[in-house]
């Protein structure tokens, strides 16, 4: 069984292109979606070896412009059609205040989404800024997760350290019972992220956006991730591909080839995410 924590469905309502996307194209190349039906998307997940994929809504209209939004309804509609195959996370714009908090509550309680995502570099607000606190409080109240970017980013108009893992620690201190996931694995602050995850029982991190083969390659800066992810933090690592920026099947194969204990591979690829989401049997 495999859960992929970061997949973007290949449909128009999930395709938004902020101005800074060109900097990511420099890194990953242009995103390429093959046209397919919704059933075809599920077949693609089958072919890639994915049992459950996590998809995301998104709202960055205040900072990045009108139309820069993937609606919670679009996300929930697709999840509702394939509830055993897809899990959805909400997207809300913190600058929209109480209306956005209400939208988050609706997305979780009525639409069935399981949490929300904040990429601090898109809002130009550090993740421990109090503008996010009402959303953290709402997710805590509703037993929902919060995913926060924790690595280098390529929106060069704002500071790189907006996503430094240290600030995830600040959030965890203020909200110790909140389920937090740091997304992308911390480079160039990998050891710092490992320290944050080690300190806090409810903090996890996902491997999305990084070719897994580089995690196990000497000299790439991921040595502490492999050391602790195979030992004391083995219950905190969650597999993610970030498709279509990276190919899912390749990410699964490369993760399977990492020098991890067999039981640890199973945790990275499925069990840790299943436990986080409360999937029966875990």
70: phi then psi, degrees, rounded to nearest 5:
-110, 115
Secondary-structure breakdown of the chain: helix, strand, coil percentages, each rounded to the nearest 5: 45, 15, 40
**Domain positions in the chain:** 3-276
Q: Which CATH architecture has domain 3-276?
A: Alpha-Beta Barrel (3.20)
Per-residue pLDDT of the chain (282 residues; tens, 9 = 90+): 999 999 999 999 998 876 766 666 666 666 666 668 999 999 999 999 999 999 999 999 999 999 899 999 999 999 999 999 999 999 999 999 999 999 999 999 999 999 999 999 999 999 999 999 999 999 999 999 999 999 999 898 999 999 999 999 999 999 999 999 999 999 999 999 999 999 999 999 999 999 999 999 999 999 999 999 999 999 999 999 999 999 999 999 999 999 999 999 999 999 999 999 999 765
Q: Rounded to a whole number, what is the distance in angstroms from the first to the last CA of the chain? A: 12
Q: Tokens for 164?
A: 């430094």
What size, in residues, is the chain? 282
Residue that the structure tokens 């939208």 belong to: 103
């Amino acid at each position: 069984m495999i859960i992929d924590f970061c997949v973007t469905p290949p449909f128009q309502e999930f395709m938004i292109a902020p101005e800074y996307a060109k900097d990511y194209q420099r890194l990953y190349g242009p995103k390429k979606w093959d046209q397919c039906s919704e059933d075809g998307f599920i077949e693609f997940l089958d072919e890639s070896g994915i049992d459950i994929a996590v998809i995301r809504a998104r709202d960055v209209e205040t900072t990045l412009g009108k139309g820069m939004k993937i609606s919670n309804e679009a996300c929930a509609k697709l999840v509702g059609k394939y509830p055993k195959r897809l899990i959805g996370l909400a997207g809300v714009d913190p600058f929209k205040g109480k209306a956005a908090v209400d939208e988050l509550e609706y997305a979780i309680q009525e639409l069935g989404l399981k949490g929300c995502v904040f990429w601090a570099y898109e809002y130009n607000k550090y993740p421990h800024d109090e503008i996010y606190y009402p959303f953290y409080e709402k997710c805590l109240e509703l037993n929902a997760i919060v995913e926060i970017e924790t690595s280098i980013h390529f929106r060069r108009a704002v500071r790189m350290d907006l996503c430094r893992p240290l600030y995830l620690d600040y959030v965890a201190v203020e909200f110790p019972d909140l389920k937090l996931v740091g997304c992308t694995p911390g480079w160039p602050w990998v050891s710092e992220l490992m320290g944050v995850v080690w300190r806090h029982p409810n903090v996890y991190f996902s491997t999305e956006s990084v070719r897994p083969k580089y995690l196990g390659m000497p000299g790439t800066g991921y040595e502490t991730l492999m050391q602790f992810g195979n030992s004391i933090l083995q219950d905190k690592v969650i597999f993610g591909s970030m498709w279509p920026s990276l190919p899912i099947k390749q990410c699964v194969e490369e993760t399977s080839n990492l020098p991890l204990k067999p039981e640890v591979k199973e945790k990275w690829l499925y069990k840790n995410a299943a436990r986080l989401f409360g999937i029966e049997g875990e």
